Structure 1
């Protein structure tokens, strides 16, 4: 059992954090620089970001280790620092979580390698398992409660990361990122996710989606996933509106009010863990926390209802050849 299991046993929606990258850019991280460098160069800023999300109400904070695998770190000649950086990422988050005065789970962020598996690319399955295992060892040593495998596209990569979690005896969850075709870049559909979870070693604590396109699209994916596996613990970590270029930086269109409504709708879609991805600041998370505190879960919304409240979807469909799940009202309510 993990701390995340304990929090889920409270039988209320859990609130994850927002966008780490967005928060770092606001504090001076230069475009193209790896945020993992701040773990040793500016640890106080890393802790400040974690603390802001905890103060806003987050039950779960993700470590600054999304790209801290050997493949990504090699781009910055830092591939020999995998264990060090992951351990430090977990230690900094752990310090903030332990000072919160309430249970806050530290989720060790594990992002994709950025490589393609053979024969499309040069990476083998064993290469991926080795890279994720090295990362997982550092996160465990630093005090992470769970591995948070996120923004994935290929099922093989999730399997490799899950095998790494099993190798170091850590609980884990995983999320995929879906594009405008309603699939991941490597063709995974939301309805495929629960079946993959059943094949993975150990027991994923939760599964779901993050990033991709807008929050309405992510909720369409959640409806499809929930329909495929009504009893699954689902995660939704949606982007904060649509990115817009302003000079040399991006700003996201989502307001705190929009993200609050997204959080309420996510719970109605059957999501147990709600958070924000790109563009989501502590202000947005605070609004989400307030919305969840006063929300009584309702029946699953239709796609039309989601669009009316959050804006248009960009996905063509949520799964093969069918209208997006939830377009018509189902008689079955939340489990």
Structure 2
């Protein structure tokens, strides 16, 4: 996981909010908003496959690339323990999530980038405890090392609520040799849940980690259009049609 090999499309889409789609559109119960246990259930795997193939099909139709996030947003130690997963099962399910997307990639002519999805240790909207940078690096290293040892192309950490956790994740990714994308949760006022301005948070992480925005400088053609909670394939379909012509 030292570079992004799939850079052959001018436009890249992203999938939407897997958890909200599975809950509200497919009627699947996801305790703690955790989708990764579906990988251990045949019906759950089928639902995830349908979800990802919708997006890959849109990209194939319109000649765009697509970034697909593994179903591992909650697949870190604390959240996994609440679902009864120990370290060995957690390692296995993170790898299985990547394998699922490798299978999807093999079925479609679209350029598919596989992103290993990492979520926050705590609540993504109401953080109660803030780790130090070193604590965050140590905590998230478990999942990031596993993802870096697969055929995933990069790691994306999303819905982060604070700078120390984001910086620790960037440190963990660097140690594992993984490309990483950092994404924060923002409230309606454009600030992180604890009040930091988004621009200040981005600058702080950049300065502390030698600038993860260099990814954009190195790959200027990599433009991603997608969404998060509440976004499904219909929204991305409309976006793709509008931008691809």
Output the TM-score relative to the length of structure 1.
0.61
Q: How far apart in 1 are the matches of 2:218 and 2:159?
A: 19
1:1-335 map, 5 Å: 2-3=3-4, 6-7=6-7, 10=9, 12-25=10-23, 26-32=25-31, 34-41=34-41, 42-57=44-59, 59-80=66-87, 81-114=89-122, 121=129, 123-201=131-209, 204=212, 272-294=223-245
Q: How far apart in 1 are the matches of 2:130 and 2:234?
A: 42
**Superposed CA offset, 1:133-175 (max 9, x none):** 1111222233210001111110101111111111110101111
Q: What is the SS of the residue equivalent to 1:108?
A: strand
Q: Which structure features the higher share of helix residues?
A: 2
Structure 1, unaligned stretches of length 5 or more? 208-229, 235-270, 295-335
Q: What is the SS of the residue equivalent to 2:199?
A: helix
RMSD (Å) for aligned C-alpha atoms: 2.9
Q: How far apart in 2 are the matches of 1:288 and 1:44?
A: 26
Q: Which has the higher contact order (CA 8 A, sep 6+)?
A: 2
Give the number of aligned pairs: 230
Q: How far apart in 2 are the matches of 1:168 and 1:98?
A: 26
**Superposed CA offset, 1:237-282 (max 9, x none):** xxxxxxxxxxxxxxxxxxxxxxxxxxxxxxxxxx932211112121
Q: How far apart in 2 are the matches of 1:206 and 1:282?
A: 30
Is the 1:14–1:274 contact (alpha carbons within 8 Å) kept by the matching residues of 2? yes
Q: What is the SS of the residue equivalent to 2:136?
A: helix
Q: What is the SS of the residue equivalent to 1:94?
A: helix
Over 3 Å counting, the alpha-carbon distance change for 1:75 and 1:179 in structure 2 is same
Over 3 Å counting, the alpha-carbon distance change for 1:102 and 1:113 in structure 2 is same
Q: What is the SS of the residue equivalent to 2:159?
A: strand
Name which one, 1 or 2, has greater alpha-carbon Rg: 1
Q: What is the SS of the residue equivalent to 1:15?
A: strand
Q: How far apart in 1 are the matches of 2:28 and 2:214?
A: 31
**How much does 1:115 deviate?**
6.6
Is the 1:35–1:64 contact (alpha carbons within 8 Å) kept by the matching residues of 2? yes
Is the 1:153–1:188 contact (alpha carbons within 8 Å) kept by the matching residues of 2? no
**How much does 1:2 deviate?**
2.7
Over 3 Å counting, the alpha-carbon distance change for 1:156 and 1:123 in structure 2 is closer
Q: How far apart in 2 are the matches of 1:79 and 1:203?
A: 34
Structure 2, unaligned stretches of length 5 or more? 60-64
Q: How far apart in 2 are the matches of 1:20 and 1:135?
A: 19
Output the TM-score relative to the length of structure 2.
0.82
Is the 1:147–1:172 contact (alpha carbons within 8 Å) kept by the matching residues of 2? yes
**How much does 1:231 deviate?**
7.0
